[in-house]
């Protein structure tokens, strides 16, 4: 994108007034989102990687469609370039007057607006301002006991766009029934656990070894060094190869792709470099 297009895009995004709706995971933000948005004259919301309006998905991909928690977090804060670009393109072509972003913290809001090139929020709304302690506890109990997540999207769109098990239409656990509840749906994502997620260095080594050992051309793994920098990985690998009917360069390139795809998929971490050095070749 040239500088003039970038400036035009920034100008359009700068006209969008941003609201932030914040609260810990599982406290009912997605359930309350359409109600809060309507009260504040907001037509479009961003929730878990999706751009949504009146129960319809306009752009993006849901973090709840991911296969593990790490990838879901990265999806929700728009770390994936193709996902981020899709949402920015939509907002540039169809800029709403007001946009509300749902997040678990102000820090998460900062990451999202920075990646999407949006303004700082003009207003922060906390879940405790719109729900009673009893209602929040009821929402948390649903999450803890049933591992269920609410998405502010109609059932038909959930079936088209989400992985995981569709449970049901929303059942109100807040006082009264909001007419926008009909646009909320309960899903069970493929990932379903609580707590901090960590992946040990030794686990990454074993994953990489397994990928290498499954390739018939790898005769011996001589060195495997993994460097981790803020959820980003560099790998330095030294191996012996049996060529068969391929040359060493094509085998090494294929191994790079397998390792990059495999580790990215199973860990959700960004693989920055896969450096493969061939020590010895067997015909």
- pLDDT level of residue 187 (50, 70, 90 thresholds): low
Which two structure tokens, joined as six digits, stand for 99? Answer: 């946009």
| Nearest CA-CA partner of 235 in 257, 266, 220 | 257
Q: Does the pLDDT at position 129 exceed 70? A: yes
**pLDDT tens digits for 144-160?**
766 666 666 655 555 55
Q: What is the DSSP string of 126-166?
A: EHHHHS-HHHHHHHHHHHHHH--EEESS-HHHHHHH--SEE
Based on C-alpha coordinates, what's the Rg of the chain?
Answer: 23
Q: Does the pLDDT at position 100 exceed 70? A: yes
- Beta-bridge partner residues of 124: 20
- pLDDT level of residue 49 (50, 70, 90 thresholds): very high
Asked which of 79-83, 89-93, 175-179, 228-232 is least confident by mean pLDDT, the reply is 175-179
Q: How far apart are CA 136 and CA 161, in angstroms?
A: 27
Q: How far is CA 231 from CA 42, 98, 161, 208, in A?
A: 35, 33, 27, 16
Structural domains of the chain, ranges and CATH numbers in brackets: 3-188 (3.40.50), 201-282 (3.30.70.1350)
Which two structure tokens, joined as six digits, stand for 20? Answer: 């932030």
Does the pTM exceed 0.85?
no
Q: Average model confidence (pLDDT) for the chain?
A: 81
Q: Does the pLDDT at position 186 exceed 60? A: no
Cβ atoms 164, 188 nearer than 8 A: yes
């Amino acid at each position: 994108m040239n500088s003039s297009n970038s400036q035009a895009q920034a100008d359009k995004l700068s006209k969008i007034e941003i609201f932030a709706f914040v609260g810990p995971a599982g406290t009912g933000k997605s359930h309350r989102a359409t109600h809060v948005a309507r009260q504040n004259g907001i037509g479009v919301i961003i929730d878990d990687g999706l751009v949504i309006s009146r129960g319809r998905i306009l752009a993006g991909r849901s973090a709840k469609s991911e296969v593990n928690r790490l990838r879901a977090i990265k999806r929700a804060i728009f770390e994936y370039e193709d996902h981020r670009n899709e949402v920015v393109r939509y907002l540039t072509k169809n800029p709403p007057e007001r946009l509300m972003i749902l997040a678990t913290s102000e820090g998460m809001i900062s990451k999202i607006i920075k990646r999407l090139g949006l303004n700082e929020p003009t207003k922060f709304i906390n879940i405790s301002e719109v729900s009673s302690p009893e209602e929040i506890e009821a929402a948390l109990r649903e999450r803890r006991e049933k591992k269920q997540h609410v998405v502010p999207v109609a059932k038909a769109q959930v079936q088209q766009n989400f992985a995981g098990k569709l449970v049901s239409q929303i059942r109100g656990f807040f006082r009264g029934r909001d007419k926008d509840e009909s646009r909320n749906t309960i899903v069970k994502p493929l990932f379903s656990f609580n707590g901090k997620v960590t992946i040990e260095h030794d686990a990454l080594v074993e994953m990489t070894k397994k990928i290498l050992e499954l390739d018939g051309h790898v005769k011996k793994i001589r060195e495997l060094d993994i460097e981790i920098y803020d959820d980003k990985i560099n790998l330095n690998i030294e191996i012996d190869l049996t060529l068969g009917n391929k040359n060493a360069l094509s085998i090494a390139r294929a191994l790079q792709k397998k390792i990059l795809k495999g580790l990215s998929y199973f860990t959700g971490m960004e693989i920055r470099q896969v450096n493969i050095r061939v020590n010895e070749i067997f015909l």
